[in-house]
Amino acid sequence: MNDRPTVATTVPDLSLLTLGVEEEYLLLDPDTGESLAVADQVLAALSGSARDQSRQEFRHSMVEMVTPVSCDLGEVREHLVALRRSAAQAAEAAGARLVAVGATPVHERHRSVPDEPRYHAMSRRFGPVAHDPAVCGCHVHVGLPDRELAVQVSNHLRPWLPVVQAITANSPLHDGRDTGHASWRSMQLERWPSIGPTPHFESVADYDETVSDLIAAGIMLDAAMVYWYARPSAAYPTVEVRVGDVCPTVDDTVLVAGLVRALVATMVDQVRAGVVAPRIRDCLVSAAHWRAAHDGLDGDLIDLRSGGAKPAWTLVDELFDTVTPALVRHGDLDYVRAQLARIHAEGNGATRQRRIMARTAGDVRAVLDHLAAQTRAT
């Protein structure tokens, strides 16, 4: 008899993928719309699970809330509703309003970083870039315990992430005026050297070597400063997609989370089937993201599979068709289809803001009133 222990050689079951969402919010003055530096007060006012699921952010006018890991979109929605409600109540107690918007819409007086050694190091290294007005994103984590697989999936995601970016665009305003971009947050973030489209990597070893080289060159302080639009998380066994603006409503966020999970699941299937990720020139990928940030869903997007421009909703429909089998597998098809139909009718966050601006002769206060109500609506 062979008494030696057996070694498990089974491949992890990735037929149903776990999910988690991080949302960043602004704290705004109810009267002026300016950013308020009251994050410490808001975080201190949170209690219980909401306090445990909150995070200090890079600005005194921001808070971040993080859902628990889940397999069910309905549970993700419940968590987001509860977290937004708790954070909104804490913000009101501090004299502010919690607003899910991608970039500072009016003005930010206090741009110093919180009193944390890492934030001070970033301020010293990157100077004025580290003191831009606050921006807020939506980060979707999808469980992938294999880092090699996460790197290959990130390669396969590259053609589709501009479409996700366009769906989430929710920051057309800056200094109280329309910037002409659906996502001004994306424009601000381009000033950082470690933010942008994910490069193509041959392997996880190639990825790790590149990150080490960038740290050694002073481009990043550490591996946590890999802010590419898709990446193996530095903290969790996930692939993290961080291309999107924070969404105005819970249902907008859950739609994006469902699409991203289905997209990751689809790319896992392709990697395991031996499908090679397309090698797309970095300049074209960057151009596609610029177009998505500029046009949102109201113009054309660049189809990185062909290199040509298409109406945004044509590419959204093609994304939906591509991930439909994964949506079915996760039980998300009906919800995602219904929410995409709603976005098609209502527009994304940027379109909704511009519609209010047009109706009110440019009244930014009316836009922010609407956003604050949408942030905490269930």
Name the pLDDT band for 234 (thresholds 50, 70, 90). Answer: confident
Cα 136 from Cα 207, distance rounded (Å): 26
- pLDDT value for 129: 93
Q: What is the pTM of this model?
A: 0.95
CA-closest candidate to residue 164, choices 267, 65, 28: 267
Q: What is the DSSP letter of 129?
A: G
CA-closest candidate to residue 195, choices 264, 139, 126, 243: 243
Using one digit for the tens of pLDDT, what is the confidence trace for 333-377? Answer: 999 999 999 999 999 999 999 999 999 999 999 999 999 999 998
Cα 150 from Cα 240, distance rounded (Å): 9
CA-closest candidate to residue 125, choices 135, 107, 113: 113
Name the pLDDT band for 308 (thresholds 50, 70, 90). Answer: very high
Q: What are phi and psi of 331, to 5 degrees?
A: 75, 25
State the sign of the Cα–Cα–Cα–Cα dihedral 368, 373, 376, 378.
negative
Structural domain boundaries in the chain: 19-376
Contact yes or no for 158/280 (Cβ under 8 A): yes
Cα 276 from Cα 67, distance rounded (Å): 33
Contact yes or no for 91/117 (Cβ under 8 A): no
Using one digit for the tens of pLDDT, what is the confidence trace for 51-105? Answer: 999 999 999 999 999 999 999 999 999 999 999 999 999 999 999 999 999 999 9
| Average pLDDT of span 209-219 | 96
Contact yes or no for 230/161 (Cβ under 8 A): yes
- The CATH class for the domain spanning 19-376 reads alpha beta
Output the CA–CA distances (angstroms, integers) from residue 227 to 138, 193, 210, 243, 313, in the order listed: 13, 9, 14, 9, 27
